Amino acid sequence: MPGYSHGRGRGRCRGRRWIEHLPNTESFHPQGPCNDSVSITILTLDELEALRLVDLEDFTQEEAAAQMGVSRKTLWTDLQRARKKVVNSLVHGHAIHIQGGNYKLRNSWR
């Protein structure tokens, strides 16, 4: 059936999210002596976009969802996942790498 995953979990496949901005940096690391055993958290570009729109640009969840081309519930899920990753990394001293995701880059006309 189109749009559904086949044997890779439950529910529909993740749809593409529209994003407008690529980050200036791709990673953040805890300060201190270089330690190769630091855990790494992957934050996807679409999760970063959800954070940027709601927490930095002060969009409502409805506005951010429309901007990204997803439902408000999908935006909320992405936002909660991203917030948990960032807070966990800050509390436990994990590095954050920003990469991947299912997105399409939108040219900003503003």
Residue 82 CA neighbour count, 13 Å, CB half: 22
Confidence band for 12, pLDDT divided at 50, 70 and 90: low
Structure confidence by residue, pLDDT tens digits, 26-66: 999 888 766 667 899 999 999 999 999 999 999 999 999 99
Determine the CATH number of domain 41-104. 1.10.10.10
Confidence band for 110, pLDDT divided at 50, 70 and 90: very low
For the chain, what's the residue count?
A: 110
Please state, in angstroms and rounded to a whole number, the distance separating the CA atoms of residues 110 and 29.
32
What backbone torsions phi and psi does residue 2 show, to the nearest 5 degrees? -60, 140
96, β-bridge pairs: 28, 41
Please state, in angstroms and rounded to a whole number, the distance separating the CA atoms of residues 89 and 19.
23
Domain parsing of the chain, residue ranges: 41-104
Q: pTM for the full model?
A: 0.79
Please state, in angstroms and rounded to a whole number, the distance separating the CA atoms of residues 21 and 46.
10
Q: Are 4 and 70 in contact (CB under 8 A)?
A: no
E strand or H helix at 79: helix 72-92
